[in-house]
Each structure stands twice: as structure tokens, then as C-alpha cells.
Amino acid sequence: MAALGLLACSPGKGGDDDGSASGTGTGGSETTNQPTTGGTGGTGGTGGTDTGGLDTGGSFSSSATQTEVSVTVTDDTGVADTGDDTTGTGTDTGEVACDTMSVPADQGFTDPPVPSGFESCNGGILHRVDKAACEVPATPSSCMDNSMGGCASDDECVEKPFGSCQQDMVFGGILIGGTCSCVYGCQTDDDCADGQICRCGGDGLGLYTECVQAGCTHDSDCPPGELCGLSPDICAPGGFLTACTTPADLCSGDNECVNPPCMFDGGKWDCANAACGRPFMVETHAVTAEAATRDDWRAVQAAPAPVDAALADRLAQHWTQIARLEHASVAAFAQFVLQLLAVGAPPELVLGAQRALADEVEHARLCFGLASLYSGTGVGPGPLPIAGLAATTDLATLVDAVIREACLGETLAAFEAREAAAQAEDPAVRAALRKIAGDEQRHAELGWQFLQWALAGAGADVARARRTFADAIAEARAGALRDAAEAGAPELRAHGVVDAPLRAEVWAHGLAEVIEPCAAALLERLAA
């Protein structure tokens, strides 16, 4: 079966004419500054119909086509509700007493260990008890591969104090990219700008010492009984802002989340419940707009079936998060259009990215619409912060990013989303996801089309692409093994939740049935 008529991939397994186990293709997350991945495979009768896209070799359990990377729907059972059973609002983290000794988070790169000022109680969120000076303000360099640009050593990082050259990370910190960047650390809070604190590097803290946004400086800044928590990012290891816990919090630590992390969403602490796709990046951070009260970003759609108040709140928060990612993907495709023009891409790729941009507007409207319906009030995006945006225009950098973040990262995340959509039982939710899935079939082709053009038509290095695929696949397999060993929550799958063991199964299927055979076929043809 041909993917885009360009490369041979594994044949699809036949399926019913509803498309189940028929080799429907993968889509991709549009929370990205690169093109999406995958394509469509056979969707018709028992033998499957070749629609000219990437063939996944059959769906896991449903007739659903591929959807967004972050369509995991959860309910209030996705966290351990230790609050008042009559409210279902979750845990008041500031009121939970430590029945064991609080565990400090030590600074990294020190011997003997040195406390960072952050600690956790009962596996809860890291919170800042005391201010502590960072013993290693300039984190030792982690740069291993700057073949595609950036700094090569700490000696190049001299614009500010405590500079070091660090490897850029992609795909949630699992994969290492081919660029390095200067990072500037700190020793105390006084080294940071107003509204920031100095967060040391260390396990659970971050890969390196840096100034981070601060809603509070330590626990005593928060109301009585509340904590000054360190909130992680969905797609990067470590914490990047501090915020006080609140009585409305829905989690008090990652152990209460089916899909961690427990993070601050702008108003309270809640489980992220979203797979990490490729975010819209500004400088080195993923950027989304904050949610705002407004009605103009709501799509006209059927209302989901009524649910109890606690579950409605959980789903409203979930769809708000997904909508913010979809909204950011509009900017990601706008950026990709410029990148395509900068590298001299053919018009069909530019048109494809423009069409995907328009699709993403509608995806955001659908998701904000669901968020509004579950919350009972209009939900939309606030301003999207783009100050500091500087998109790469180097062909080699784009190729590497498409392989890692699109051909691998987004394809795996798309398989997750497909399974979540397949198991979602509410008709309104299914309808929204199927609309998104149909668009994703077109978006999916774009990543592989770009890669084909870049390698065959623009002269990008095929040997480098082969190495990148090999490294990325190995890292993804390691991630699947870790997920397979985690405790699952199969009772939540009917709500569209892809728990860790199911995610491991989905990843293994995606790697074996799509990514490896399609990458091999493409690279072998180009090397011939």
C-alpha cells in the first residue's frame, strides 16, 4: 500500500466495513511548529480500501479514524478525591497533614546532597519551604550533539552570568535533538527579575538551574494551610512556575493523576490529562494562551449528555486544556508556512499547511465549545504570547524536527488519540473527535510529504535521517517499556482515557506497524 504514492508501508489487515481493524491511518497533533505525520490507510470492506495514505496495519479496537494528540477524556475518578464527598471538588492540598516525614528535593550536581528548599509530602507536589542558594548556578554542560546549530561549549554562553551550553530536548524530554542552546542560571532569587525565583537544577526540579516565573516565593506567601507549589510543564521535565495551592484543587500530586502531571492551570491545580505532542515553541518554552471567558470561540455543536457536577467540571477543565493546545497549533502552522517558504518548499506543501491552519481554527472552536458546554459558561482563548519568537529556517533542522516530532512523536501520540476517540461513548464527543479525525487524515500526509521532498528533492542528508530515526525509535521503545510497567486504570477507558499500559500497547503497535516500515521503505528508496 502506498503512502502518498511515494513509499511502501506494511499492508493493512482487513476489517469490517465500519473500518474497524482496517488500517485507518494516523493523524498528528497540531500542537506543533512542524508538520503532522502519518496518513490514511484502508478504511473500507473486509480487505480494506487503499486511500493512498500511511497504513497503520489495523486499528486496535474501533472504527474511529485518527484524531488529535491530546483528546484524552477523563472524569473525576482520574484523581483521588480526598476532599468533602459532598462537593467532589478534590483535595485541599494545604489541609493535608504529612503522616510521614516530608522529603526534600536535593539540588543536582552536588556531593554531598544539598537541599534545594523544595520538598514534598506523601508523594504530593513539590513546594518551596525555604529559599536556598543554588550551589551550582551554572549547570554543567549537557551538549552532546549540536550538528544542527547552537552553542558547542560553555565558553560561548557569556551574555549573562552563570551561562552553560545545554542540549535542546524534544518530545517531552524523551528525545534529544540536534541543537544546543545557552542557558543562564542563578544563585539566589536576587539574580532573577521581578516576579521570578531561582530554581536549582535537580531531580524533579529541572534539568538545569534557572530563573522561573513565581506566583509565590515560598509557603509563607500563600494563605494559611496552602503551599507554594512548583508546577511542571506537560512537555518538558521539571517545574517552570510556582503557584499557591487552593481549596478548589483537583489533585495534590502526580500520584492522583491517571495521566500526570498535577499542574497549575492558571486558577487551580489539576491533572494535565493530555499526551505530549509538539507544542508551539517560543524560544525554549511551549506556549499556549490562557483561558478566558468569552463566547466567540465556541463551535455550534450538539451538547454532550448531562453528567454530575464533579465530572462536568473535570471534563470542562480537560477540554479547556485541549482547546488551548489546538489554539496554539494555529500559530504553529502559521509558523510552519513561513518555514516552508524559507526553505523553498513547493506550493502544494505551503497550501497544505495553510489548509491545516484553517482546520485548526475549527478544532479549537470544537474543543472550546465542549469546554463551554460542560462548564455552563463561555470559554475561549486569551492573547497568545509570542514575544521572542524566532523560527528556524535551516532545512537540516526542519528535517530532524519532522522526523523526531512528527514522524515519531506525533504519530505515536496520534495512535493514543485514536484509541481515546474509539472508546469515547458520548455521541457529541465522538462527533467532535471524528470531525477532527477527518481533518487529521489530510494533516497526516503533510509531514511525510515534507520529509520526502526534503530528502529527495532538496538534498537533505539521508544518512543523518536514518540515524535520527534509529535514535528516536530506541528512545520511544524505552518509554513504552516504562509505561507498560505502571499501574493502569482500565475502568476509565470507557471515558476516553488512555492509561499507561494501554499507551504502551498503542506505542508498540505504532512503532512496529507504521513508523519502522514506512521509515525503512522511504530511506531505502532514497538510498538506492
pLDDT at 242: 94
Percent above pLDDT 90 for the chain: 29
Written in H, E and C, the secondary structure of 170-220 is: ECCCCEEEEEEEEEECCCCHHHCCCCEEEECCECCCECCCEEEEECCCCHH
- What does the alpha-carbon distance between residue 148 and residue 404 come to, in Å, rounded to a whole number? 14
- What does the alpha-carbon distance between residue 15 and residue 148 come to, in Å, rounded to a whole number? 43
Q: Which residues of 378-398 are buried (b: 16+ CB within 10 A; e: fewer)?
A: bbbbeebeeeeeebbeebbbb
CA dihedral 243, 245, 250, 252 (to 10 degrees): 100
- What does the alpha-carbon distance between residue 309 and residue 76 come to, in Å, rounded to a whole number? 10
Q: Give the pTM.
A: 0.56
The residues, ordered by sequence, that sit 6+ positions from 183 with a Cβ below 8 Å of its Cβ are 139, 157, 163, 164, 165, 166, 208, 210, 284
40, 444 in Cβ contact below 8 A? yes
pLDDT at 79: 32
Q: Note the Cα 103 to chain centre separation in Å.
A: 29
Identify the burial level of 462 via C-beta atoms within 10 angstroms of its C-beta, where 0-12 means exposed, 13-18 middle and 19 or more buried.
Answer: middle
- What does the alpha-carbon distance between residue 520 and residue 466 come to, in Å, rounded to a whole number? 8
pLDDT at 73: 29
pLDDT at 265: 76
- What does the alpha-carbon distance between residue 497 and residue 275 come to, in Å, rounded to a whole number? 11
- What does the alpha-carbon distance between residue 9 and residue 22 come to, in Å, rounded to a whole number? 14
pLDDT at 360: 87
Strands 236-244 and 210-214: parallel
Identify the burial level of 197 via C-beta atoms within 10 angstroms of its C-beta, where 0-12 means exposed, 13-18 middle and 19 or more buried.
Answer: buried
In tens, the pLDDT along 155-203 reads 999 999 999 998 876 554 545 556 788 999 999 999 999 999 999 999 8
**Grid cell in block for residue 4:** 502518498
The most distant pair of C-alpha atoms in the chain lies apart, rounded to whole Å, by: 69
The residues, ordered by sequence, that sit 6+ positions from 164 with a Cβ below 8 Å of its Cβ are 138, 139, 140, 141, 154, 157, 182, 183, 184, 185, 208
- What does the alpha-carbon distance between residue 508 and residue 511 come to, in Å, rounded to a whole number? 5
- What does the alpha-carbon distance between residue 453 and residue 400 come to, in Å, rounded to a whole number? 14
The residue ranges of the chain whose pLDDT is under 70 are 1-100, 148, 169-178, 234-236, 258-260, 272-279, 281-286, 388, 437-438, 441, 444, 489, 491-492, 494-498, 528
Domain ranges (residues) in the chain = 1-70+335-347+393-528, 90-139+185-273
- What does the alpha-carbon distance between residue 168 and residue 163 come to, in Å, rounded to a whole number? 15
Q: Which residue has the cell 519568537?
A: 389
